[in-house]
Amino acid sequence: MPYNSVPPTLPAASAPTTARPAVRRAVRAAGPATLAVLCLSVLTGCGGTEVKAQPRAGAPATGTSSGAPLPSGAARSDSPSGAGKNVPKGPLAGRTVVIDPGHNPHNHEHTREIARQVNIGTGHKECDTTGTSTNAGYAEARFTLDVAHRMRELLEAQGAKVLLTYDDDRAYGPCVDERARIGNTAKADAVVSVHADGSAVGNRGFHVILPALVRDGAADTSKIVDPSRDLGTRIAGRFVAATGSAPSNYIGGGTGLDVRDDLGGLNMSTVPKVFIECGNMRDPKDAALLTSASWRQRAAAGISDGIAVYLKG
């Protein structure tokens, strides 16, 4: 769930989080063309393979650096996770993908720091938020990091250079503007921010969030709106094929696509970027999927296939 806060601690029986902001920009509505792409993707299928993903050897497990805890409130500023790793040759050789695992499992320990306001072009927003969780306590931040690891394995196997905005290697964040800056600095060919929603019971399915046309302050998405829509449409189609999940029944009018101008991670990006909400953690049926390791592998394959198809163009 991109940047909608939930309380720092979530008991198993806590009430559902508030759904998305009421005002949504239905810019460049996809309509039948997107549905056609989704249907075509279902027919052509997904080429993902079942690979068990693990964090990199030697990577810290819980917000540490070189085995020592980070000082309270300290944010790391070194290179994105995965930089410099040799990858095999393949059809994506020479292409750079940045995966942005939404939120951080340790954000709830640093509520003051993540509440700091940052510039998102159209205004200011919190540095980051805690994200949501299932009613049983499986955190969105743990889900997004797991899917990111699986995606990294799949994309590197095709020769792509893959960077993560963070890999459980910092005390909190990164802030939303830094997440965008990492993709910009890497001159990424594609950036995908992985999330899961926290909406009402009965709201089910996935949706991909696309950047709206924004020219405001430090934000200018004019050059990335069209390629980001292409990237998002291909991811949506392959996600259907890989997971069998339907497009959201509560956002996007059945297209699986939504357009927003209030997300700093999109507004401040200068390279093609989308968010994907893989399902609703507060719906029991979607939660059963999101907590399944085999389903998360299919989700990672679907997103990675969509990226690969986009990059092969």
Please list the active-site residues.
277
* Spatial distance between the Cα atoms of 64 and 168, rounded to a whole number of angstroms: 8
SS (H, E, C) the chain: CCCCCCCCCCCCCCCCCCCCCCCCECCCCCCHHHHHHHHHHHHHCCCCCCCCCCCCCCCCCCCEECCEECCCCCCCCCCCECCCCCCCCCCCCCCEEEEEECCCCCHHHCHHHHCCEEECCCCEEECCCCCCECCCCCEHHHHHHHHHHHHHHHHHCCCCEEEECCCCCCCCCCCHHHHHHHHHHCCCCEEEEEEEECCCCCCCCEEEEEECCCEECCEECCCCHHHHHHHHHHHHHHHHHHHCCCECCCCCCCCCEEEECCCHHHHCCCCCEEEEEEEECCCHHHHHHHCCHHHHHHHHHHHHHHHHHHHHC
Omega of the bond prior to 32 within 30 degrees of 0, cis? Answer: no
Token pair, residue 245, equals 């999940």
Token pair, residue 296, equals 């998360």
Q: Tokens 């290697």 label which residue? A: 169
* Spatial distance between the Cα atoms of 14 and 114, rounded to a whole number of angstroms: 22
Q: What angle do CA 302, 307, 312 make, to 5 degrees?
A: 125
* Spatial distance between the Cα atoms of 250 and 24, rounded to a whole number of angstroms: 12
